[in-house]
Amino acid sequence: MVKKESGLSEYELQRQANIAKNQALLKELQLNAASAGIAPSSKPARSSTAPKPKKKTLPKIKEEVQPRRSSARLQGIVADSETAKRKADDYAEIQREADRAKRQRVSGDINLGDIVVAGQSWNKTGSWLRDVKPAQPYERTFGDDDVKSTADKDLRELREKMSGLELWEGFEPARIKITPERIYAMAFHPTPDKALVFAGDKLGNLGLFDASQPVVKHEDGGDDDADELDAHSSPAITTFKPHTRTISTIHFTPTQPSSVFTSSYDSSIRKIDLEKAVSVEVYAPADPSDDEPLSGVCIPASDPNMLYFASLNGQFGMHDTRTSSATGPTHSLTLSEKKIGGFSVHPLHPHLLATASLDRTLKLWDLRRITGKGDAKLPALVAEHESKLSVSHAAFNAAGQIATSSYDDTVKIYNLSNAGDWEAGHEIDEWAPSTIVPHNNQVRKMKVPCKTHSPLERDLLLAHHTQIAH
């Protein structure tokens, strides 16, 4: 019996008794094992074989593994201290340098085969060159009743033609992915031989889609045959990357039908020669570090060596392509305090320049008379008209009319009568559009589809549509 000690509970006394009993039992078992010869000896027996020599191991050098990213707390940096602020500034500067390097334009000539990012391999031997209410999206401007009630014969025929347009049935629209990212500029090549569509996206990719390719017609052989034909047919699309930032404009000139001119937010203008399969830089700031995003480019038909361009800071530039950007001559005029979204020159009188700006104005300039000195130089302002919202683009047609798209969801047509008789510095006191057409203009630009269209067709088709029709 375990003698009860003062201060201990019955439970504690019982627990100590059990411990003593177990220890006595364990000691007894160990004695019995030793007498039977089954207990382990105090010293292990030596092996009969000689021990193998130990391999010499080189001392390991303990490398201190640093985490890829450590917080200021782990580095012992006190929050809101000068050290923490310097660290944050250094990290932000590194990120800015990395972004700047990624967006830095590529100078010099580029082989198109080296900048193919998607689609088919480039084959230069191929025949590549042959007051109104806002408009509601997808709402028709006119219907069948309007066509029948149209008294003007030419306008009625045009409306009938427009009503008969259908989506291209070659492929489903979802399969015609011309560029990897959002399209910012689109243009149809003016050649009558092929239906070539060019598109530029926000990352500097230029896509080329051949809509004249023969399309495989499905026979009535069942779904299996249709799936097999679809597997072997795809849209003829090739995508290049001539720029590092958004392509703002795609331009063609009649004197160089095999060339495609593109302007970009990377401050450069490049010419892609489809026959030679090369991309050439025709303009860029003399200093590669200058950031002058360009919003448009145009080459007047009267002078194929002169390059006109506009920028996001309201500048209008003129550059002779026979000289380099470093040696000039490059002339720059400040025509707006805000972004020039688009501009166009008169096809017959290239001294007349129309600019559309973020300041909600359409302005008509005469380049024959430039007054002022230095940054204050300005051409003569012929006329000006203000819209309710930003004017995104202005384009001349072959008849010398100007069509504009505005974020107030209208397409406005401006007539310029007797423009050829105007003297330098001619001014128009009151200028208003002759026609206002409701249209959903929540798009980037307007482009003249083709030279084969009549002037009236050009006016109605100038709005940039996001779907392809023929």
Q: Give the model confidence (pLDDT) of 182-197 as tens digits.
A: 999 999 888 888 888 9
DSSP labels for 318-357? Answer: EEETTS-TTT--EEEEE--SS-EEEEEE-SS-TTEEEEEE
Rounded to whole angstroms, the Cα distance separating 287 from 308 reads 19
402 closest CA partner among 362, 438, 444, 365:
362
Report how far apart, in Å, the C-alpha atoms of 31 and of each of 22, 23, 24, 123 are. Answer: 14, 13, 11, 96
The model's pTM is: 0.64
* pLDDT, position 447: 43
The domain ranges of the chain are: 110-461
Report how far apart, in Å, the C-alpha atoms of 235 and of each of 191, 201, 230, 317 are. Answer: 20, 18, 10, 38
Rounded to whole angstroms, the Cα distance separating 318 from 309 reads 7
Taking residue 301's Cβ as centre, other Cβ atoms within 10 Å add up to 14
Which two tokens mark 48? 């009969």
* pLDDT, position 448: 39
- What backbone torsions phi and psi does residue 53 show, to the nearest 5 degrees? -65, 140
List the strands of the sheet with 378-386, edge to edge: 340-345, 352-357, 361-371, 378-386
Rounded to whole angstroms, the Cα distance separating 13 from 452 reads 112
Which two tokens mark 423? 């003297």
* pLDDT, position 68: 55
247 closest CA partner among 288, 196, 187, 195:
187
Strand-pairing partners, residue 345, are: 353
Exposed / middle / buried, residue 338 (Cβ in 10 Å: 0-12, 13-18, 19+): middle
- What backbone torsions phi and psi does residue 309 show, to the nearest 5 degrees? -150, 160
* pLDDT, position 104: 66
* pLDDT, position 153: 86
Strand-pairing partners, residue 319, are: 307, 330
* pLDDT, position 322: 83
Rounded to whole angstroms, the Cα distance separating 248 from 425 reads 31
* pLDDT, position 247: 95
312 closest CA partner among 350, 277, 358:
358
Residues of the chain with pLDDT under 50: 1-3, 126-132, 225-229, 231-232, 444-470
Q: What is the DSSP letter of 91?
A: H
Q: What is the DSSP letter of 375?
A: G
Which two tokens mark 467? 């779907």
The fold adopted by the segment(s) 110-461 is Methylamine Dehydrogenase; Chain H (2.130.10)
Which residue type does 201 have?
A: D
User: What pLDDT, in 10s, does the model give residues 302-348?
Assistant: 888 899 999 999 999 999 888 876 555 578 899 998 999 899 999 88
Which residue is listed with tokens 């006394």?
13
- Beta-carbon contacts of residue 333 (< 8 Å; ≥ 6 apart): 315, 316, 317, 370, 377, 378, 379
Q: Taking a C-beta distance cutoff of 8 angstroms, is the pair 184, 444 a contact?
A: yes
* pLDDT, position 302: 84
